[in-house]
Structure 1
């Protein structure tokens, strides 16, 4: 199908373009051109004067729409999550499983493989295993009973049941072994330092050894202090390591996001870390206003959407909208090495887009060229 998307302001990731149009064909972006230059015979779809950005990408999310992947890692859970995220403007996501029983962590990968195999055009990019090789001292809401040392046999199981779908593993650098790091990196898995009490030296060594990212900056990690810069200091100081941040004003102050962005620039990207209420299983969460807590009252996850995180970065952090959008699109795509097909509006890229208004309400998405209006938009 070949058509033009018109009547919008396009945030391409490189420029902000009013009075332009996108020519889409066969699920890809064919051209970005002035609206006046559109061939007269090309069918048009009216974008209703909305803002159009690359599809939002969430690399750490546990659930939504009443289901929690941590408790029920099934294709049905993933289907429900994807439908909810799509309505919120997120086109791509990495389903996340926290430190858990071995069979559930393996089951998360099996569920992702089954879902991807059966679902055409899905935005599920794979699985993020947040643990189980983490620091007990910085476990946060993770269950201590499931924390364990790196196990090559377990890692080999992960890699074998879902080839290519284990995208990220959060691990504490001070508990990582060279063999575990080598095995995961050889399989193309992104290692992210997190839930870690690492010293600055240990964190530096981990980043030098193959850790490419840091998980939810500030949360559940050694802080930057005058005598021990910790994992936060190592993330700031490293020339290429990327870091996710939860921009909800609760997991970290908006001023901390602003300072981090000044120091890290394009290396800082947004995640939601969103969970859902669950009365069963190892991870039992309840909503407490604008956050989720566990049975001990520990902050356990956010109630953010990616579009809300973008809005917060504009309204409370003070970033330009174009940059806040890159933190939710291009920069996470770079983490997974997908920035040649996702994260920009440019010729050759996948036609996966988010349509939203000036109040940051999602109105629809384009997924592989197919425009779908959200129910909230009156469809």
Structure 2
């Protein structure tokens, strides 16, 4: 049994004061009112919250998953991001050839078989994207889907969660329905689709929008574009938001949240290997990228993922765009849990939920992280 005393606890929905959280193994047993303990050996934390869930992580600690699609790379990425409060993630593979996709698939399957804490599944960002909105993706890797080859990679959904980011205008009729039937979570991204094309994809089962505003057709007066489809509320969908102040202007983030509501916004990092690393120049998919002033770019100035971590994303949501701490924590944990349909295990601090938690000080900086009941940082 492990017991943590929290001066302030956010249970996923409400703030509580002076709470004792007890867990046994990887599960929370109880959350109870308590007095501040006199026993100095007990863990006493300023703020305790559900651990953060990041559905878009390309790398960390000098490791880019595309460059090293291995089990050891996953362990390193999890360990690095744990220091920023991330307790569960969808490692993300940027558009690459099928051999690399297969290696990534096997690595994540091995992690899931071993019940490796922190890994929920796999996110293929591409390669079925529109070259017009390719961003940093290599154009020679973008292509039409081959269902025969894909079938062997989609069994991920029988082991863990599987996300596929695609441009709906680039795939054949019925492809999104086929992916959804295979239990994949389909997201729209790197797309030049019209509003009608994007809404058709939503009607076909797409439920997410990858890094809102970036690499998609904008909202305009007579053509709402993919952004307009993302911000509609008729059909519930979730938007990933890179809250680093570089990918999206703070005013644009505020406008999106006002239109969509916090309930369907989730913080993501799109982090590359620079996070948790001291390197400022690094190789990236055959290019050279540089980190400067909190962002990473190619030599021509194209954003190459981000240098963002989840704890910073939470602070930016509070201090840069003016949302409440409760909303920021929910966008970092409960909302992605709902998006992935794992909110019966993650996103709340209550009995029977995973003991995957983050402790923070009053400045919202991480002091300790637990994944499945084990201290992994702090």
TM-score > 0.5, shorter chain as reference? yes
Cα distance, 1:154 vs structure 2 = 2.5
Instruction: State the distance in 2 between where 1:160 and 1:207 align.
Output: 23
The residue aligned with 1:115 is 111
Matched, 1:173 2:173: no
Q: Which residue of 2 aligns with 1:149?
A: 144
Tell me the matched-pair count: 369
Write the deviation string for residues 32-65 of structure 1: whole angstroms up to 9, x where unpaired: 2211499x9xx99633332111011100011111
Partners of 1:87 and 1:4 lie apart in 2 by 20
- 4+ residue segments displaced more than 6 Å: none
Aligned to 2:85: 89
Q: Corresponding residue for 2:74?
A: 78
Name the stretch that deviates more: 355-364 or 61-70.
355-364
- The 2-side partners of 1:33 and 1:345 are apart by 11
> Which residue in 2 is equivalent to 1:124?
119
The structure 1 residue matched to 2:222, chosen from 223, 227, 234, is 227
Shift of 1:233: 0.5
Q: Which residue, 281, 286, 294 being the options, matches 1:282?
A: 286
**CA 1:7 to 1:136, structure 2 compared with 1: closer, same or farther past 3 Å?**
closer
1:304 aligns with 2:301: no
The equivalent of 2:277 in structure 1 is none
Does structure 2 retain, via aligned residues, the 8 Å contact 1:274–1:302? yes
Q: Mind listing any 5+ residue stretches in structure 1 that lack a counterpart?
A: 375-379
RMSD: 2.1
Matched, 1:358 2:362: yes
In 2, Cα distance between equivalents of 1:152 and 1:309: 36
Q: 1:246 to 1:45 in 2, by over 3 A?
A: farther
SS in 2 for 1:158: helix
Instruction: Tell me the TM-score normalised to structure 2 length.
Output: 0.92
191-200 or 179-188, which deviates more: 179-188
Pairing partner for 2:345 from 318, 341, 352? 341
> Equivalents in 1 of 2:139, 2:59: separation in Å?
21
Q: Per-residue displacement from partner, 1:245-270 (whole Å, max 9, x unpaired)?
A: 10011000111111111111101110
Q: What's the offset of the Cα at 1:108?
A: 1.1
- Residues 112 and 160, structure 2, Cα contact 8 Å, conserved in 1: no
1:114-152 Cα shifts (integer Å, max 9, x gaps): 23334x441111110000111111101111001001221
1:217 maps to 212
